Structure 1
Amino acid sequence: MATREPMLPETMTSPETGATLTRGERPFTVAYKGESVSVDLPGYYPAGEGDGLHVGKDMSVVDEALRNLKEKLEGVPAPSSIRRLRAKLRLSQREAGALFKVGENAFDKYERGLVEPSGPTIQLMTLLDRHPDLVDELR
């Protein structure tokens, strides 16, 4: 069951300037190896221009966008792609870790974005995504 982030107040005082910051979103560009994507970055922002303050899971949209760019440009699967593949193969995280010989907690770490899979693990994921029937041979 997913944990819910507590409700954040609508305003807060900037620890640097003392100005009132209001909760909202602003466009932010995430760039990686010559490609970029714009995301709506939540945070506390001053009226008009100025730097925002990001708390809790605010930066997770930037992390996700960066992982998606890495997947597109380098073939490193994003956590959501790894979760999708594991579900497609009908494996628990522990079963996937045992099948891929990467440790029983590896898929939990991959799917939370804490660790990226190694090159050989990525290659095996790619093969099994294209040919899911091969999972029975690996068992």
Structure 2
Amino acid sequence: MASAVQTLPDAMVSPKTGEVLRRDVRPFIVSYKGRSKTVDLPGYYRAKEDDGVHVGDDMNVTDIALRALKEDVEGIPAPTAIKCVSHWPNLSLRKAGGILKVGEDAFDKYTRGLVEPSGPTSQLLGVLDRHSKLVDELCQQAS
């Protein structure tokens, strides 16, 4: 089965001005509580202008950068860090949601970046990541 890869046209008409915008990538600064990170933001732009139109997954790079900044500043784990839970032996989304007392659906949303874990859940994820033997103990208690 072939994967569905979204291809975007090289140009589009601006919904505001009617000008032709070209597909390009521009630097964009994401800031959070005094920290910042520059990302390459894809979109449709006018020549020599940084304002653009972003469609589809264009803004994902800013979401990822913001999550990384939040992880650095406040310790809120990014989805990639939460996905590392899968390296714990025999730990499914269901079990992970159970031992964290958040439920399978919530844990799945954490791993996909749709929802940020609460402060206590973030702290527990950090502790469990550093002390993975505690996962077995929590799994036994949840059984």
Matched, 1:30 2:19: no
**SS of the residue aligned with 1:57?**
coil
Equivalent residues in 2 for 1:51-70 (5 A)?
A: 51-70=51-70
Matched, 1:110 2:110: yes
**In the alignment, which residue of structure 1 is the partner of 2:138?**
138
Percent identical among aligned pairs is 60
CA distance in 1, matches of 2:28, 2:4: 24
When the two structures are superposed, what TM-score results if normalisation uses the length of structure 2? 0.90
**SS of the residue aligned with 2:43?**
strand
**In the alignment, which residue of structure 2 is the partner of 1:119?**
119
**In the alignment, which residue of structure 1 is the partner of 2:129?**
129
CA distance in 2, matches of 1:20, 1:74: 42
CA distance in 2, matches of 1:8, 1:104: 34
CA distance in 2, matches of 1:66, 1:83: 17
**In the alignment, which residue of structure 2 is the partner of 1:87?**
86
RMSD of equivalent CA atoms: 1.3
Contact 2:26 2:50 in 1 (8 A): no
**In the alignment, which residue of structure 1 is the partner of 2:49?**
49
**In the alignment, which residue of structure 2 is the partner of 1:76?**
76
The structural deviation recorded for 1:88 is 2.1
The structural deviation recorded for 1:69 is 0.2
> For residues 39-74 of structure 1, what are the alpha-carbon distances to aligned partners after superposition, in whole Å with 9 as ceiling and x for unaligned?
000000111225100001100100110000000000
Q: Which runs of at least 4 in structure 1 moved beyond 4 Å after TM superposition?
A: none
CA distance in 2, matches of 1:68, 1:131: 22
> For residues 80-113 of structure 1, what are the alpha-carbon distances to aligned partners after superposition, in whole Å with 9 as ceiling and x for unaligned?
11012x1221422122101211112111110111
- Structure 2 counterpart of 1:95, one-letter code: K
CA distance in 2, matches of 1:76, 1:82: 10
Pairs aligned (count):
136
What are structure 1's unaligned runs of at least 5 residues? Answer: none
CA distance in 1, matches of 2:41, 2:4: 19
The structural deviation recorded for 1:120 is 1.7
CA distance in 2, matches of 1:97, 1:32: 29
The structural deviation recorded for 1:19 is 0.9
